[in-house]
A and B are shown apart, each in its own frame.
Chain A
């Protein structure tokens, strides 16, 4: 808990602090889990080039709960895909646990995606015609877990997201919020140290939003690093740090008031409406 105290002590109205993570006093002295160094991403479509990221630098240390905000098209998903080792930057370096991912070959990257990272997609991305529990088991299968243990761990993950009673339903038989929770269960099933979520509450009503955010809060309390993209200020306010992107670069990087996010006071919290 010393980290949290440290942060609480040094946090202030940081909206003026711009772009450089090393300038963020919160992170000083801690070894980052994620380190982006002047990342650019250029999409080429025939003769047209679209620059989605124009030199993003960002450090995230272990155990952080961080929200990425920004207007549509500002490059949030592009950055998240790079963080999740799903896409590669056009230039710049991405150090994951101190290792440059560019130096990792395809099979190592697959293992990193499987063990170290849990990715929650904006569009759920559950495999159709496959039950919720089978979907959650899938990363465990690729991790080489035995079928019996796989089932037990998948059920445990579904219980954590409160979906155990829907375990054998197909994705098409689940509501949007339930699908999103199944996707979260899949992301946490292998017990990854880093959870990345791209607009996990984008399509959800406020109640489902609370449920999902509750899950992330608990994950974070359990020591996992959580990075999530959101458009909703009230969701971002529940995190401890907000990174804003504009036109492919970091506009601001600020710590929020902190301390107010706990599993116990989520749900019908009145403060949600006040923000």
Chain B
């Protein structure tokens, strides 16, 4: 008896119990679909996080200066001294003897303002910094020019602006370079336009105006002798950890404290990436495991229904054996039925999974992975074989006389 006939017999058997067969298929379908969609969601969210980290800049360490000295309340009762990131720190870090792996150091003062041009307004972030900031933060000057050292020293009222600001404040086609706009209380002239940077999170990186930090202090934040953060660029990606420890020890020296007691936070792009990668992997594996359990439950459904089928058709099995069906033929017949159930569930599950992965799920755009599709489908078929084998073997092992006598 050829496998093609086996399939025909199996299809006829399944067709005789349409509802039951469909429900069993549904179990596998849900399992396969869930594996594909959940793994895609996991991959998608992991990619989103990584893009966000990459958007921090290239080979950069962000030093956030928000803390104070001393762990816990000061024991002397006096207010602990604020530790700040100062212009002196910046020049120390730029010293190649002190920090040989550091390429650039860009201080950042940032504040949120409403930009206006005539009647058009736009809410955005003003970043007061130095010329190296654009390169370190992975911005590209698309038109006009970047800030220069002269702009910094002269407290020039100039700005390099992002695309969101351009589209909010200017009519399409007009040349914004040379125009004067208001950033809150400061009037600045646009000298450059940044290329669009990919949006990866809740914050729009293109809603930005980059101005000299000296100008920002004059016009927007007031002179505080400190920066909110420093963007440190290392010589190369391999130097990033060395650069981080150099920066830490220089800052510790400048603040007369130890590296471990430093109140600054270091965001190292390299280690952030690898940490997030591993947590995301765990997350994806967990999602996949939950889905795999539903696939397993689907498999148990197949086994259940096949046991019922074998019981129902015990007499038929007896007749077939009595007229000379070998064990292998009976085994093949019922195994084929189980595998067809899982195969249909697998195929439809893949379709559902692929289609479902095109929709945003809890804010994450799922990213389909071929591997998960192939694996989910393969596991579904394997589940059919595995859970179909026991009932089929039970049918095949019946003694003909017992099967014939079955009522």
Contact = CB atoms under 8 A, between A and B. Distances in A.
A114 B323 contact: yes
A139 B329 CA distance: 12
Given A127-B316, A147-B5, 6 more contacts: A121-B322, A125-B404, A138-B323, A139-B324, A141-B5, A142-B1
Contacts of A125: 315, 318-319, 322, 404
A107 interface: yes
Contacts of A143: 324
A127 B327 contact: no
A106 B326 CA distance: 8
B401 A142 contact: no
A30 interface: no
Interface string A136-166: 0011011110010000000000000000000
B321 A110 contact: yes
Nearest to A84: B322
B324 to A, nearest CB: 2
Interface residues of A, number: 28
Contact of B329 (A115, A142, A186): A142
Contact of A110 (B5, B316, B318, B324): B324
Nearest to B313: A127
Contacts of B400: 86-87, 113
B20 to A, nearest CB: 16
A111 interface: yes
Contacts of B404: 86, 121, 125
B326 A107 contact: yes
Contacts of B329: 142
B320 interface: yes
B324 A186 contact: no
A110 B318 CA distance: 12
Nearest to A141: B1
A128 B16 CA distance: 12
A113 B322 contact: yes
B324 A113 contact: yes
Choose among A110, A112, A143, A190 the residue with the greatest number of B CB atoms under 10 Å from its CB: A110
Interface string B377-401: 0000000000000000000000111
Nearest to A119: B322
A129 interface: yes
B327 A106 contact: yes
B246 to A, nearest CB: 78
B322 A142 contact: no
